[in-house]
């Protein structure tokens, strides 16, 4: 790793530690808990999980040591910096936490949901997780392994799902890898629509990947760059060498319609993407299926075709070399939802685009615009070394093809 990149990483860790310490101080002022003044202490949103530790263990799911009864911070009484210890890592969202399935050691995600707020999430999740849909190769909806009813609370349940990570980390190496990503999303959303389900929030944060095949070392679910035991940086392969699967997640505001209702009308529900054109103009009921098309097209436009995108949760650097997607994406994000293509049309047009791309183009490097000249040179040399190796070994330019 370049020295200046190590320095930037250290600065990010320090800023994150300061922000977390400030959060703990504010939590102490708000809730009057002396524990919250201790850096790395259990936060208010985490205490609920601590209370469920034994029940979840009896159910077959083990939380990390941080949440165990009688937890003593590993840095206590040592000279270790608390922010660099595994058991100081806190979840980004209080209602989502990682765990280990005790029967086979598989890492999973636990999501606490309130059924009165999201009455269809379990139903739709189970729809895509039950045969014959579960094994359909076009199904890219996150599987639900289990649904746990919270004791003494009939309005809350926990969904057990695979441990996933954001689709953009680690970075894409080749155009073929991006093509594989787009292909899975297009087939996946078409499949969702074919089941008469509108996702209604299929923006970037709700598209994730199962990176298990990618990683040599299990990564930490809260600090994605680190190994799970925090003993160094997690190592990984490229997507070309180890193909993976992407998933649509979070069906909390999704709806399923009757098979003969091809153009349902729903009043706007604002998801994570606040730029939907039809929602800006009025609060009238509209067809949610073209809105899904916009969400997906805008995700591609912002994350792969425009300038640097930043928001409160993550940073995605846009790239060069993918301009061939512009005509299709432009149609997907038209202001008039009636003019947007259906997912059948999107898939058909994408197939035509793919036919025009040479193997040379598919193996070409995705260039990240924020890279310095030195970083770009380094990535270029590494890329060409891999590229020659893949050609010699006849590794497909599109992962999994």
Instruction: Name which of 8-12, 61-65, 225-229, 348-352 the model is least confident about.
Output: 8-12
Residue 17's pLDDT band, with cuts at 50, 70 and 90, is: low
Residue 34: per-residue pLDDT: 42
Residue 218: per-residue pLDDT: 95
Residues facing residue 236 across a β-bridge: 215
- Residue 115 tokens read as 């059924």
- pLDDT tens for each residue of 300-310: 999 998 754 44
Residue 311: per-residue pLDDT: 47
- What's CA 286's distance to the chain center, in Å? 28
Residue 313's pLDDT band, with cuts at 50, 70 and 90, is: very low
Instruction: Name which of 1-10, 282-291, 351-360 the model is least confident about.
Output: 1-10
Give percent above pLDDT 70 in the chain: 86
pLDDT of 373 over the 70 cut: no
Alpha helices, DSSP H, located in 172-274? 175-194
Average pLDDT over residues 96-101: 98
Rg (CA), the chain: 22
pTM equals: 0.86
Task: Give the β-pairing of 245-248 and 207-210.
Answer: antiparallel
Average pLDDT over residues 331-347: 97
Whether the CB-CB separation of 187 and 138 falls below 8 Å is answered with: yes
pLDDT of 97 over the 50 cut: yes
- Rounded to whole angstroms, the Cα distance separating 118 from 254 reads 9
Report residue 255: phi and psi, to 5°. -140, 145
- Rounded to whole angstroms, the Cα distance separating 109 from 101 reads 10
Match domain 49-73+87-162 to its CATH number in 3.40.50.720, 3.30.200.20, 3.40.50.10860, 3.40.1280.10: 3.30.200.20
Residue 16's pLDDT band, with cuts at 50, 70 and 90, is: low
Instruction: Name which of 75-89, 152-166, 359-373 the model is least confident about.
Output: 359-373
Average pLDDT over residues 28-48: 67
- Residue 397 tokens read as 């330019």
392 vs 66 pLDDT, higher one? 66
Residue 262: per-residue pLDDT: 85
Whether the CB-CB separation of 207 and 249 falls below 8 Å is answered with: yes
- pLDDT tens for each residue of 186-210: 999 999 999 999 999 999 999 999 9
Domain residue spans of the chain: 49-73+87-162, 164-393
CA–CA distances in Å: residue 45 to residues 26, 51, 92, 112: 14, 11, 10, 12
pLDDT of 134 over the 50 cut: yes
Sign of the torsion formed by the C-alpha atoms of 98, 95, 169 and 39? negative
**DSSP 8-state secondary structure symbol assigned to residue 304:** I
Whether the CB-CB separation of 74 and 125 falls below 8 Å is answered with: no
Average pLDDT over residues 132-149: 98
Quick one: which of 235, 230, 175, 180 has its CA closest to 209? 180
Residue 4's pLDDT band, with cuts at 50, 70 and 90, is: low
- pLDDT tens for each residue of 166-190: 999 999 999 999 999 999 999 999 9
pLDDT of 332 over the 60 cut: yes
Residue 30: per-residue pLDDT: 42
- Residue 273 tokens read as 């993407």
Does CATH place domain 164-393 in 2.20.25.650? no
pLDDT of 354 over the 70 cut: yes
Whether the CB-CB separation of 382 and 162 falls below 8 Å is answered with: no
């Amino acid at each position: 790793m370049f020295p200046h990149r190590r320095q930037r990483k250290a600065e990010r860790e320090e800023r994150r530690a300061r922000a977390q310490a400030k959060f703990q101080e504010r939590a102490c002022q708000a809730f009057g808990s002396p524990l919250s003044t201790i850096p790395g202490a259990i936060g208010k949103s985490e205490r609920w999980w601590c209370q469920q530790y034994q029940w979840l263990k009896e159910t077959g799911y083990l939380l990390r040591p941080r949440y165990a009864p009688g937890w003593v911070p590993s840095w206590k009484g040592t000279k270790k910096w608390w922010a660099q210890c595994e058991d100081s890592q806190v979840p980004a969202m209080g209602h989502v936490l990682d765990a280990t399935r005790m029967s086979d050691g598989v890492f999973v995600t636990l999501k606490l949901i309130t059924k009165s707020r999201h009455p269809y999430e379990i139903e739709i999740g189970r729809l895509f997780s039950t045969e014959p849909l579960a094994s359909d190769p076009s199904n890219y909806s996150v599987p639900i392994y289990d649904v746990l009813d919270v004791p003494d609370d009939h309005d809350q349940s926990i969904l057990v799902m695979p441990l996933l990570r954001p689709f953009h980390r680690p970075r894409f190496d080749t155009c073929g890898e991006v093509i594989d990503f787009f292909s899975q999303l297009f087939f996946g959303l078409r499949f969702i629509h074919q089941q008469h389900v509108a996702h209604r929030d299929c923006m970037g944060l709700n598209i994730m990947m199962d990176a298990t095949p990618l990683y040599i070392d299990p990564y930490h679910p809260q600090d994605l760059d680190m190994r799970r035991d925090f003993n160094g940086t997690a190592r990984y392969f490229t997507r070309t060498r180890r193909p993976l699967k992407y998933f649509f997640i979070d069906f909390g505001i999704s709806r399923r319609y009757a098979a003969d209702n091809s153009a349902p009308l729903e009043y706007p529900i604002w998801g994570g993407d606040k730029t939907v054109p039809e929602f800006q103009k009025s609060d009238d009921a509209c067809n949610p299926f073209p809105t899904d098309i916009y969400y997906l097209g805008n995700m591609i436009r912002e994350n792969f075709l425009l300038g640097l995108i930043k928001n409160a949760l993550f940073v995605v650097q846009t790239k060069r070399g993918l301009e061939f997607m512009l005509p299709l994406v432009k149609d997907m994000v038209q202001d008039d939802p009636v003019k947007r293509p259906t997912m059948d049309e999107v898939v058909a047009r994408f197939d035509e685009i793919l036919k025009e791309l040479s193997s040379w183009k598919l193996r070409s490097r995705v260039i990240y615009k924020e890279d310095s000249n030195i970083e770009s040179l380094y990535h270029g040399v590494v890329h060409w070394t891999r590229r020659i190796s893949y050609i010699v070994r006849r590794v497909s330019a599109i992962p999994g093809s």
